[in-house]
Chain A
């Protein structure tokens, strides 16, 4: 559409559009009891895929529970869970090609797990040890892996959104049938970068999926204080973008929507916006206490929509999973996480030399000089720098 109006677009009395003018349906495939809505169309899913998805769910639950505990014991400094949002994250990642690039916000560790990030790799990042791919430079939960096409997390919110537009565009330029997927919260969608990123993607035809986890809160701020319109999805058509809203606690709905979004993006070199309606069951982070801003009742209500349980019931109904297998899976991962945690905890931190690495491709003379005088200083006072003592 151009800005020229035809007579068909014209009215002769003032009439405003408002929030209610846009009716956005929500895609739901699975019912609470694990059966499928009669008229629903299932996504492409076989037993193997269902197991890979469910396995990721169980691992993530275990990891979140154990590492939050480890944080409380003071073994790691910080932690964030994705509890309650597993279907949004895993259902979408499971719809992608392994070469599609993921640009996540910080609560999407299930996605990197789905791609094959090992328990040991998780622990190395969480303990910032010398095996951490990020060389111990970022706080816990800032995972990244070039091998798995998962770009390393950056804490400033929404910066990954216009970057995803660029990644998607680069696939188009390279003639590859791949896309970028970008995750963000409904809070981050208030940042200028969100608007810039979506607008550019729509105008420049970048094959990118913008995946909003609308989980109800940005730290303490509820959605009612975040936006006045009809969620995030209502903005998609405004940018001229294909858009869909899904039940973010419904694995099959997320899978179906993202599979089709990906196919559309690849075929047409165009972006898609997906808004997953979900709920952050846990605290914002290990430094936060949600009892200050939301009620136990509200949390309890959402517990009943647990996305992992719903998907599990579906698998059991299909005869693809038994309660016994389920218990064994949890058990296996609890043991594995604990074992790797203990190993990672003991691994040493990076050597001091890494302090000046990767600032530039090679350290500048100035940085080398700073490192040299730092080492001299540490040699004089080794006890004051326990991490570097005896390891220069």
Chain B
């Protein structure tokens, strides 16, 4: 097993997908010969030819509509949106079309073969147009699956599962981990089941829940809490839509407490949905209010990025507050 970074793992998954499915096509801005601005598609044009891996004109709306068309006619469309911040020009195609193709046609047609990959998140001094975490805009839309990997191993397995899933998937890649996260990734073809959370660390006092790049943050916070004698159960949600309520609820029934961390703003963020559901499911087991450590209700800032971030210290403080409620 080789130690590779997340970008290499994604590249590996894309290569495997193209190899194992001759109807699959990979495209987006600068993904051709150049290999994408982050280099996730390096070498794939050379390997699979420019009919299956190519640059598109600069139009996210066009990319999404084109992907829908391809998939509606039997192809597997893997599209890159260069930054999650630039997925919004495609939002009509994704929300009104991708998500509802199957439903509106009584399954005469579907675009289950569509996967949109896109780098998301902050921590890279990118300001508000290179740092957003727009997952909640998509989790509210029935018909879309939303997936976020936290490391290189997951990136490969979850991406392959997303591409092969018979539903459209939006696959958010934590860009600040692209090169920072290096881990063992099997050479062979493997998938990680969508819709299943992973219990990363078992614990007894409080459940900490996050996804993607914020997993590193809650794991750090759990280490800090451990030094104060607090035992945290750490869960990675991995798939946000549909999300694994059973795993989270079982954990909260055990620990009696829940903290959810995400980088997107607090108001309307996906943590609100989880908190409301778990409160219903686990009401009689809760020993303190469910807490949310999130971004602020401002656009993603530049100079105050550190202050804005739901970092390990803020999470640690919230853990203590919850345990000492």
Contacts and interface: CB of A to CB of B under 8 A. Distances in A.
Asked if A and B are interacting partners, one says yes
Contacts of A142: 127
Interface string A119-133: 000000000100000
A218 interface: yes
Most chain A beta carbons < 10 A, residue from B34, B61, B86, B267: B34
B88 interface: yes
B29 interface: yes
B48 interface: no
A366 B34 contact: no
Contact of A385 (B32, B128, B306): B306
A387 B298 contact: no
A293 B36 CA distance: 11
A137 B29 contact: no
A221 B125 contact: no
Contacts of B88: 156
Nearest to A290: B34
Contact of A139 (B266, B302, B314): B302
A84 B38 CA distance: 26
Interface centre among A138, A226, A350 (most CB of B within 10 A): A138
B33 to A, nearest CB: 6
Contacts of B297: 359, 364, 366-367, 370
Nearest to B33: A293
Nearest to B59: A190
Contacts of A77: 125
Contact of A157 (B30, B55, B58, B301): B58
Contact of A387 (B59, B125, B299, B304): B304
A25 interface: no
A112 B205 CA distance: 58
Interface stretch (A56-64, A260-268, A328-336, A374-382): A374-382
A293 B304 CA distance: 36
Contacts of A97: none
B34 A156 contact: no
Contact of B129 (A156, A350, A381): A156
A193 B89 contact: yes
Given A137-B303, A192-B61, A221 B29 contact: yes
A288 B266 CA distance: 34
Contacts of A350: 303-304
A138 B298 contact: no
Contact of A355 (B35, B296, B311): B296
Contact of B34 (A192, A220, A381): A220
Contacts of A139: 125-127, 129-130, 302
Contacts of A225: 32, 54-55, 57
Contacts of A78: 125
A43 B57 CA distance: 35
Contacts of A377: 313-314, 317
A188 B58 contact: yes
B113 to A, nearest CB: 23
B322 to A, nearest CB: 15
Contacts of B126: 139
B85 interface: yes
Contacts of A364: 297
Contact of A191 (B85, B89, B130): B89
Q: How large is the interface on B (under 10, 10 to 19, 20 to 34, 35 or more residues)?
A: 35 or more
B59 A355 contact: no
Contacts of B35: 292
A151 interface: no
B123 interface: no
A356 B296 CA distance: 9
Chief secondary structure at chain A's binding surface: loop
Contacts of B307: 352, 355, 374, 378, 385, 387-388
B259 to A, nearest CB: 15
B69 interface: no
Nearest to B42: A292
A187 interface: yes
A370 to B, nearest CB: 5
Contacts of A218: 29-30, 58
Nearest to A378: B307
A192 B59 contact: yes
A86 to B, nearest CB: 23
Contacts of A187: 57-58
B66 interface: no
A190 B126 CA distance: 24
B289 interface: no
Interface in A342-392: 349-350, 352, 354-356, 359, 364, 366-367, 370, 374, 377-378, 380-381, 384-388
A370 B314 contact: no
A154 interface: yes
A356 B298 contact: yes
A138 B304 CA distance: 11
A219 B30 contact: yes
Contact of B298 (A136, A157, A367, A385): A367
Nearest to A221: B55
Interface string B51-81: 0001101111110000000000000000000
B190 interface: no
Contacts of B200: none
A137 B59 contact: no
A280 B90 CA distance: 28
A370 B313 CA distance: 16
A155 interface: yes
A370 B269 CA distance: 15
A221 B58 CA distance: 9
B129 A128 contact: no
Interface string B274-313: 0000000000000000000000111101111011100101
A381 to B, nearest CB: 5
A380 B316 CA distance: 12
Contact of A155 (B34, B37, B130): B130
A275 B289 CA distance: 60
A37 interface: no
Given A188-B58, A227-B57, A220 B30 contact: yes
9 contacts: A128-B303, A137-B299, A138-B129, A139-B302, A220-B30, A359-B298, A364-B297, A367-B297, A378-B307
Given A192-B59, A226-B57, 11 more contacts: A142-B127, A191-B61, A192-B89, A288-B37, A352-B307, A355-B296, A364-B297, A366-B267, A377-B313, A378-B307, A385-B306
List the 3 closest A-B pairs by CB distance, nearest first.
A220-B34, A155-B129, A190-B57
